[in-house]
């Protein structure tokens, strides 16, 4: 079972002088279970693709299916928008969290139960539910927004820059939760911090001006970026390792973990 994207094209303001081709002839297969990374520069089409996979809006051309079905928001797919906490406006955190479940046909008791259990899952105190979202910090609200999407229990969840503008501690926490629960849920993880994507996902796609520039495994991706001389597509760690190799260090630029990189540099220094 998988997410299939075939011949997907999307235009904004089609037929006007302002027409923008945000996506062109996208073909991707995303296997279910695990974390699939989606990277690319600003304006490369990541958020457009995310919202179409989330079933929000109809593409200009082509199709997307999730296990053979069209995406249906709140049913087979959910999305955590960029800066989701900016959308909180209710009097209490509970009311904001419950808003996504209102039309799901669940009873009041079931809604409460879902919210309690997902708050536990992300490690937030249930006592926060009576507080006003305006009095809570960004990190707490981000986790609460994430819990709200989890509460809908979709099989696929798209995370559009889930760690953007968070402090390093909360960033780490968000990534740990995603890794912990990614067996049952398929995550599509969008980030501009390449290091995050190569650490957390096994497979990924790179968008460049609305087209797929690369899709495959993380190690295939690092090889590709080095081979194509697209150093800007490498995480900073790999750029540093690449630079060291150019300087004559005997290191492998497509390392993924910082510990391995340090180990390689240490060995290289011992050898010289």
Ligand X SMILES: Nc1ncnc2c1ncn2[C@@H]1O[C@H](COP(=O)(O)OP(=O)(O)O)[C@@H](O)[C@H]1O
Q: Does 47 bind Mg ion (CB under 5 A)?
A: yes
Phi, psi for residue 143 in degrees, rounded to 5:
-65, -40
**Of Mg ion, ligand X, none, which one sits near residue 244, judging by CB under 5 to 8 A according to partner kind?**
none
List the one residue from 24, 36, 48, 261 that touches ligand X (CB under 6 A).
48
Structure tokens at 270: 């011992």
CB contact set of 74 (below 8 Å; sequence gap of 6+): 100, 103, 104, 152, 154
C-beta separation of 161 from 82 below 8 A: yes
> Binding to Mg ion (CB under 5 A): which residues in 127-186?
none
- Ramachandran category for residue 125: left, alpha or beta (phi over 0 → left; psi -120 to 50 → alpha): beta
User: Which residue number, 47 or 118, has a Cβ lying nearer to Mg ion?
Assistant: 47
Nearest approach, Cβ of residue 22 and ligand X (Å): 4
Q: Does 89 bind ligand X (CB under 6 A)?
A: no
Whole-angstrom distance, CA of residue 113 vs CA of residue 193: 35
List the one residue from 11, 20, 136, 181 that touches ligand X (CB under 6 A).
20
Q: Does 51 bind Mg ion (CB under 5 A)?
A: no
Region of 12-20, 68-76, 118-126, 197-205 interacting with ligand X (CB under 6 A): 12-20
Q: What is the DSSP string of 229-242?
A: T-GGGS-HHHHHHH
Q: Does 181 bind ligand X (CB under 6 A)?
A: no
Q: Which residues bind ligand X (CB under 6 A)?
A: 12-13, 20, 22, 40, 42-48
């Amino acid at each position: 079972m998988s997410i299939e994207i075939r011949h997907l094209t999307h235009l904004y303001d089609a037929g006007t002088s302002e027409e923008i081709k945000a996506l062109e002839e996208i073909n991707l297969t995303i296997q279910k279970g695990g974390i699939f990374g989606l990277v690319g520069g600003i304006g490369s089409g990541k958020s457009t693709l995310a919202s179409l996979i989330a079933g929000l809006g109809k593409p200009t051309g082509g199709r997307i299916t999730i296990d053979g079905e069209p995406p249906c928001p709140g049913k087979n797919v959910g999305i955590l928008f960029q800066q989701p906490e900016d959308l909180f406006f209710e009097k209490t955190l509970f009311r904001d969290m419950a808003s996504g479940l209102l039309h799901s046909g669940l009873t009041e008791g079931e809604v409460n139960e879902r919210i309690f259990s997902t708050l536990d899952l992300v490690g937030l105190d249930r006592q926060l539910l009576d507080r006003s979202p305006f009095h809570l910090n960004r990190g707490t609200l981000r986790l609460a927004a994430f819990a709200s999407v989890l509460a809908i229990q979709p099989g696929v969840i798209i995370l559009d820059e889930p760690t953007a503008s968070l402090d390093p501690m909360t960033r780490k926490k968000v990534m740990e939760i995603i890794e912990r629960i990614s067996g049952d849920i398929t995550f599509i993880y969008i980030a501009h911090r390449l290091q995050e994507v190569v650490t957390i996902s096994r497979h990924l796609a790179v968008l460049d001006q609305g087209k797929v520039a690369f899709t495959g495994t993380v190690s295939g991706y690092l090889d590709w970026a080095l081979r194509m001389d697209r150093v800007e597509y490498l995480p900073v760690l790999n750029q540093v390792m690449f630079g060291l190799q150019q300087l004559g260090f005997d290191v492998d630029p497509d390392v993924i973990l910082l510990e391995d990189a340090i180990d390689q540099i240490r060995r290289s220094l011992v050898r010289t």
